[in-house]
């Protein structure tokens, strides 16, 4: 069975460029989460969806960040324009309901120069 | 205030020995869940074990067990018979069902298993 799939695995871009991260959750999971991990701030939730609807985006750092989930099998996290402080590992995770475990993708390591 | 506290930045254990990774939490909710995740050097986050606040028995999953002490608000992870492949970062996390429902992670403990 395929787990959560993220692409790209690594992204290097220049400041000011648009970056789009992609996620395919596990089939049948109704919740999807986007996290960011940095040395300074640890692992923090950015936004999560239930049945493709954004439920809580209070963790999104600023208007440069946006996330969409057009269907049950695909989500994107977009940063426009990107800044060096956005450099981090971005994880997508999915779950069945909120009660128990979330399954994480392999992450996208973003470097903004 | 920190919701999840992991006081051990790093731990060492010899192969085949047991090790306990500490986690304390802070909540006023009655309904909450506690989780442990493992992050090896390859970077992925791997779910290990879950404990619900109303579960009377300590959770166990193979070599992993969760020492849940509700009154002390602690949820320590015990790894028995450590293996070299257990070397990784370990994160404790909590979800408050009556609050935000978000999963809040601790800062992690780096475990090194040596032969």
B44 touches chain A (CB under 8 A): yes
- Local confidence band at B76 (pLDDT 50, 70, 90 cut-offs): very high
Percent of chain B with pLDDT over 70: 97
Average pLDDT value for chain B? 93
> A108-112 and A10-13: which strand pairing?
parallel
User: Mean pLDDT: which of A52-61, B1-10, B84-93 is highest?
Assistant: B84-93
Q: Reply yes or no on whether the pLDDT at B84 is more than 90.
A: yes
- Cα four-point dihedral sign B83, A100, B52, A89: positive
CA separation for the pair A107, A89 (Å, rounded): 6
- DSSP state for residue B24 in the 8-state scheme: E
Q: Do B44 and A89 touch (CB under 8 A)?
A: no
Residue B67 burial (CB count, 10 A)? 16
pLDDT in tens, B56-73: 899 999 999 999 999 999
pLDDT at B101: 72
Q: Reply yes or no on whether the pLDDT at B99 is more than 60.
A: no
B56 touches chain A (CB under 8 A): no
Percent of chain A with pLDDT over 70: 98
């Amino acid at each position: 069975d395929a787990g959560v799939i993220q692409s790209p695995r690594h992204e290097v871009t220049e400041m000011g460029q648009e970056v789009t991260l992609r996620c395919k959750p596990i089939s049948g999971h109704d919740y999807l989460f986007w996290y960011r991990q940095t040395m300074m701030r640890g692992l923090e939730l950015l936004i999560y969806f239930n049945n493709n609807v954004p439920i809580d985006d209070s963790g999104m750092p600023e208007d440069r960040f946006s996330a969409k989930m057009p269907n049950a099998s695909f989500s994107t996290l977009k940063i426009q324009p990107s800044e060096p402080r956005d450099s981090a590992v971005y994880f997508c995770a999915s779950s069945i309901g909120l009660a128990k475990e979330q399954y994480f993708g392999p992450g996208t390591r973003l470097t903004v120069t | 205030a920190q919701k999840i506290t992991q006081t051990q930045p790093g731990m060492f254990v010899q192969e085949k020995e047991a090790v306990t990774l500490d986690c304390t939490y802070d909540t006023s909710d009655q309904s909450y869940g506690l989780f442990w995740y493992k992050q090896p050097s390859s970077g992925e986050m791997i779910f290990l074990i879950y404990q619900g606040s109303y579960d009377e028995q300590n959770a166990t999953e193979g070599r992993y067990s969760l020492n849940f002490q509700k009154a002390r608000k602690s949820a320590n992870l015990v790894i028995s018979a450590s293996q070299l492949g257990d070397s990784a970062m370990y994160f404790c996390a909590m979800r408050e069902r009556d609050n935000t429902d978000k999963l809040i992670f601790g800062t992690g403990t780096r475990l090194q298993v040596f032969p």
